[in-house]
Chain A
């Protein structure tokens, strides 16, 4: 009987969650747009027949809609400075941009959550040392640190991920710590201690799951932030290097031709903007939905 009730409750909760999501038009649209975008990026070969690195110098800087050569489809977004199809480059370039943004955030989240939980849970000297480290770390601008690291290690996607990861953990650390502080003194943790559950078990099984929702919000918004950071650094020449490509690199390489071929700059700019906006809207929605203090419902 009790079991039946729980199932019913979850089902009901799911329905209202979906309902609320459906009613939040912005988040809904953002989610749909993002799913479409991701599908196109990861199944790029279905959507374009062009090879991302095949140049056709005679067709360089062709405007959007120019017919392709000999049986190829139209260049719907035009071509770039080497006559490569811009649509194909945006799709394949998106992989690098998302890969960097996602990997950097995952690495930052792991490091930050482990350190933040330890700081919040143990308190005292551990807290003191870790949090001062965070203070020092976050006083230096992210992009500047990343640029310095890339300059020393040389440009490229791998080094870019390392460089940005170095700067990406501090926010997670702060979030995890403040949540762990709250949890530390909760009756649940206290009773756990009382019945002899080990500290790592308390932290991983009881504390971590309960502080997940703010961290998920942070995760989504930070991913957007680091997609932006990748674009910035690649634009400046410190990030992804040819023959690989990314949105920032397409922008950076194309900016010299802004006057003659504005589409090389407009489309990657738009795609970056849309992706970041969608992620932020979804992040906001998650926060509103799971934050008990939000008074919406």
Chain B
């Protein structure tokens, strides 16, 4: 009896081993499961600024332009050519023979409708500020259309990489509520189903105008707990887990990483009416000298972050100034500057939040710790996300310093300057007419070389007279199955068409 039992047990264990061994060779090379950090809020791709929706809808919808993977230059996608009519009017040709997933052909009407819908105040898109430089779009003939901008806009083509092209008839046939649950694009994948709380499935579009993808089916699962996502990856339940922690790298079968466009910055309150010590330039410089950004990047982010080189961008951005070097970590110099500025231990309120971005809470505490060490009397205050937003956007409540993150998906220095410095921006906590004028002039300069020079000049000024602790930009870090072939893009888009499994 006992013997039989032992035999039976051995058999079961052997069977288990055999089965796990056979799992090593992938049976289905056409299906992928991806773990996202949370559930998407809607499928209406023009509305939200939703990092859990974009990885899905970017595969369902095409845009007129896409960023070239290496150079980050806009390249024609659904548009095939461009012609500048005057400094405000751009004329485009539309790709022919493209069909929506429901079989209807893509027309100029759809494009005009999509652009006008995305910039409309009625839709009130959460990324409206990235596209509202567009005044309107209009049809010219069967495959020509025009886009008119409010001011001369050198960033127009990059803005078009954000606008998903929808079907006019399909969109108009559905109510706003229905549109949150359905999708009909021209992209390489068709929407299949969205099981709330569980997953979204998409499948390859057999009528796609471009190259057919290697992966035919994709399932997106929502796993909020990072450790759970890692376990799912190790168990082979998912093939790609997005945004893992740097600490997980050694437990991850294959690591996918690239630089991205999120930059942490700590805003100084320079509003003249407010009572902030950081109205003093020397103290702003002192704070930048007081923090060892290199150690933070290497030890806290394990190297998956790059310290800002004394400016709010990194190489490859339009307007990045390669001649500026980072502020050295020099506590003595910081103390000298503080003494010269007459800093007398006045309390400094440091507002932050935690849980939204990679290691935001830990970064806050690390920065506070460095500032305290240099002699700044920092009091950290962690707020909930909504309270934090309130404080960030309300100039009367502006704290002395506040941690925030700037995402520069245009890879262009206009983004940080317009968002963080320009006095009319809701996030800015300063008012300097000279800087405002320079930023606005550069923003409307259509000559690339001139713009580059203007931004380099501004970056140099902001190095002498910092508006923030230029902290660090974090890298994209994903964990994947050992046989997944993929190179992450600098624009962080998760195009399935660029992925495959090796044999």
- Residues of chain A at the chain B interface (Cβ within 8 Å): 53-55, 57-58, 60-61, 81-83, 151, 154-155, 237, 241-243, 253, 255-260
Contacts and interface: CB of A to CB of B under 8 A. Distances in A.
A234 to B, nearest CB: 12
Q: Nearest 10 A-B pairs (CB), nearest first? A: A57-B299, A241-B382, A55-B369, A243-B380, A260-B247, A57-B295, A58-B299, A154-B387, A242-B365, A57-B300
B366 A243 contact: no
Contacts, number: 63
| Most chain A C-beta atoms within 10 Å of own C-beta, residue among B364, B369, B380 | B369
A47 B382 CA distance: 29
B96 to A, nearest CB: 50
B296 A243 contact: no
A210 B356 CA distance: 53
B27 to A, nearest CB: 29
Contacts of B361: 242, 253
A260 B245 CA distance: 11
Interface string B357-379: 00001101110110011000000
Contacts of A259: 227, 230, 247-248, 251
A242 B355 CA distance: 12
Contact of A60 (B292, B299, B355, B384): B299
A242 B354 contact: yes
A81 to B, nearest CB: 6
B366 A58 contact: no
A82 B365 CA distance: 8
Nearest to B251: A259
B227 A154 contact: no
B369 A81 contact: no
- The B interface is mostly helix, strand or loop, or mixed, namely helix
B247 A237 contact: no
Interface in B186-234: 226-227, 230
Nearest to A156: B382
A155 B382 CA distance: 8
Contacts of B362: 81-82, 253
A137 B67 CA distance: 57
B383 interface: yes
Nearest to B301: A57
A155 B300 CA distance: 25
A82 B387 contact: no
Contact of A57 (B366, B368, B382): B366
Nearest to B247: A260
Given A82-B300, A242-B354, A253-B361, A54 B369 contact: yes
Given A154-B384, A242-B361, A256 B295 contact: no
A82 B366 contact: yes
Contacts of B387: 154
Interface string B380-399: 11111001000000000000
Nearest to B359: A81
B364 A242 contact: yes
B365 A55 contact: yes
A53 B354 contact: no
A58 B382 contact: no
Contacts of B383: 154-155
Given A57-B299, A57-B366, A253-B361, 20 more contacts: A53-B365, A53-B368, A54-B373, A55-B365, A57-B295, A57-B296, A60-B299, A60-B300, A81-B362, A82-B362, A154-B383, A155-B383, A241-B381, A242-B354, A242-B365, A255-B227, A257-B247, A258-B227, A259-B248, A260-B247
Nearest to A55: B369
A61 B299 CA distance: 10
28 contacts: A53-B368, A55-B365, A55-B366, A55-B369, A57-B292, A57-B295, A57-B296, A57-B299, A57-B300, A58-B295, A58-B299, A61-B247, A82-B362, A82-B369, A83-B299, A154-B387, A155-B384, A237-B355, A242-B364, A243-B380, A253-B362, A255-B227, A256-B227, A256-B245, A257-B245, A257-B247, A259-B230, A259-B248
A283 to B, nearest CB: 34
A58 B226 CA distance: 24
